[in-house]
């Protein structure tokens, strides 16, 4: 690296002595590498080419400010509606610090720490393109925070999803200047205390830096990335549990025949039909003679419904990958072209649409899952009512379906598009916003809700299979055997809340191979 590269502090040296680190370069992130990075908690470092770009851009900006008195938005002017107020050179540093402090007004619940860590990673990536004018040591401090799991305390409420995720990112920036609070060593602590413990000095923000840190879509992007990666797993589990329910309901296999899907070749539909057919290979239950000609839509149309959600994930994937490999602050500095342009790359409309679409797609996986649960407990096809012996004396699995129905209804409310709303801010200067941040927090709720709905369906499918004379397919049999160690057969009424918890924990504990839940995004 160039001689000017700042060395990591000695307090972080244990991290940097590790043999393997991931270079953050100008090469675009892809989902698999990001997933591996998250799962393995691999430390990161700035690539040489990135260091040169960051330093070159900062030098250019310093030269530009020193040689010109022209007003440059956010660099020597006020912000938002105060864009016409010129700031003297002597106050440029104070301007950036005031910006950070005044915008750190988040409210609501804490952002989950894994998402905060993603925010750090994505902000580092955006600054690495060399169009933001930040100091190298500012980016390096973000890297140190990421590697040492020093995570700024950020709140879920405050972003309008335009002009960047201002309030959430301001809480990230606060930690850079040694203020606010961070999560460290399992507890919430004053940033100043942690910096002192590490032997680090607060960063003195130079011109443009506060704006570069605050402008950007990293709150929305981090939520979107987290939801997307989880959604691939949920999509896979939806297919797996649906196959079990199909077996338990004595359903028909013909709707999954490749000929059906060859004449309506939506990619997700084909993947779903092929996957479930593979799950059901060797099933004696599927070979049984059927007394019914058709199954309800929640079984017969699994490929079409689950497949549509898969196709939605593909759209979301493309949007998210474009966003996290982009420069989203303002103004943008183009060194080679010798120009600084104030634009609108901070506007979250693309992410807002994608997150709303994701919300709808995942809510539908929960909706059709609940319908399969309803069919399983309805006393049809040789199954006892509510899947228990002596129904009446025992309520059996009557009320878990109520719980699933309640969650499905909540998802319908959460899935209402946030992006159709807007509200004027900054005295009319910011007169159209995306509300993508609201879509982001709603999306994570929906994805978590769908996991619980699937956990309820799994309990019902497992219980229903106890009443069948044949075993299910070999692959599914292994899965259900492992599950029954956590949730055994229901022989009489018990506290089913515990079963719901254990079923959800079982699903969350599953570590799937990457290709199982990322295969849907391959070309």
Beta-bridge mates of residue 187: 184
Active site residues: 73
Q: At what angle do helices 218-248 and 166-176 cross, to 10 degrees?
A: 120
Is the distance from CB of 502 to CB of 456 less than 8 angstroms?
no
Rounded Cα gap, residues 308 and 133, in angstroms: 42
Is the distance from CB of 80 to CB of 74 less than 8 angstroms?
no
Is the distance from CB of 303 to CB of 269 less than 8 angstroms?
yes
Token digits for 120?
């750090």
Rounded Cα gap, residues 442 and 363, in angstroms: 11
Q: Which residue has the tokens 């059927």?
A: 290
**CA angle at 396 for the pair 395 and 398, rounded to the nearest 5°:** 75
Phi-psi region of 396 (alpha: psi -120 to 50; beta: other; left: phi over 0): left
> What is the SS3 assignment for 152?
strand
Token digits for 312?
């939605």
Q: Which candidate, 8, 11, 30, places its Cα nearest to that of 21?
A: 8
Q: Which candidate, 62, 51, 192, 194, places its Cα nearest to that of 127?
A: 51
């Amino acid at each position: 690296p160039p001689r000017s590269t700042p060395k990591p502090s000695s307090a972080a040296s244990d991290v940097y002595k590790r043999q393997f680190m991931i270079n953050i370069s100008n090469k675009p992130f892809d989902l698999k590498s990001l997933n591996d990075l998250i799962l393995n908690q691999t430390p990161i470092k700035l690539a040489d080419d990135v260091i040169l770009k960051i330093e070159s851009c900062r030098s250019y900006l310093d030269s530009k400010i020193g040689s010109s008195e022209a007003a440059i938005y956010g660099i020597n002017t006020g912000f938002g509606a105060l864009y016409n107020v010129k700031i003297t050179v002597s106050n440029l540093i104070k301007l950036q610090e005031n910006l950070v402090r005044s915008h750190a007004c988040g409210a609501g619940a804490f952002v989950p720490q894994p998402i905060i860590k993603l925010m750090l990673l994505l902000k580092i990536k955006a600054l690495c393109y060399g169009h933001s004018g930040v100091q190298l040591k500012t980016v390096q401090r973000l890297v140190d925070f990421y590697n040492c799991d020093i995570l700024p305390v950020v709140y879920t409420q405050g972003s309008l999803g335009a002009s960047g995720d201002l309030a959430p990112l301001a809480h990230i920036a606060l930690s850079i200047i040694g203020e606010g609070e961070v999560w460290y060593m399992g507890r919430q602590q004053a940033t100043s205390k942690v910096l002192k413990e590490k032997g680090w000095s607060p960063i003195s923000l130079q011109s443009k830096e506060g704006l570069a840190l605050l402008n950007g879509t990293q709150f929305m992007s981090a939520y979107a990335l987290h939801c997307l990666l989880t959604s691939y797993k949920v999509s896979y589990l939806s297919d797996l549990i649906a196959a079990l329910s199909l077996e338990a309901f004595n359903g028909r296999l013909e709707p999954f025949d490749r000929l059906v899907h060859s004449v309506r070749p939506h990619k997700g539909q084909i993947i779903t039909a092929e996957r479930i057919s593979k799950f059901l290979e060797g099933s004696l239950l599927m070979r049984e003679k059927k007394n019914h000609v058709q199954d309800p839509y929640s079984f017969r149309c699994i490929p079409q419904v689950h497949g549509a959600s898969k196709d939605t994930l593909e759209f979301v994937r493309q949007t998210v990958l474009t966003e996290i490999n982009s420069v989203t602050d303002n103004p943008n500095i183009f060194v080679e072209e010798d120009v600084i342009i104030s634009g609108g790359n901070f506007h979250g409309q693309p992410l807002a649409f994608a997150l709303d679409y994701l919300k709808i797609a995942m809510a539908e996986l929960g909706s059709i899952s609940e319908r399969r649960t309803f069919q399983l407990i309805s006393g049809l096809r040789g199954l006892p009512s509510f899947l228990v012996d002596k129904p009446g004396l025992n309520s059996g699995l009557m009320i878990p379906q109520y719980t699933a129905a309640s969650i499905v209804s909540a998802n319908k409310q959460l899935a209402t598009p946030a992006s159709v709303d807007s509200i004027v801010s900054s005295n009319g200067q910011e007169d159209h916003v995306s509300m993508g941040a609201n879509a982001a927090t709603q999306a994570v709720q929906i994805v978590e809700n769908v996991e619980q709905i699937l956990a309820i369906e799994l309990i019902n499918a497992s219980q229903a299979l106890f009443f069948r004379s044949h075993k299910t397919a070999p692959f599914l049999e292994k899965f259900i055997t492992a599950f029954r160690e956590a949730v055994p057969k229901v022989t009489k009424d018990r506290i089913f809340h515990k079963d719901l918890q254990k079923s959800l924990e079982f699903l969350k504990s599953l570590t799937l191979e990457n290709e199982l839940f990322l295969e849907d995004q391959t070309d």
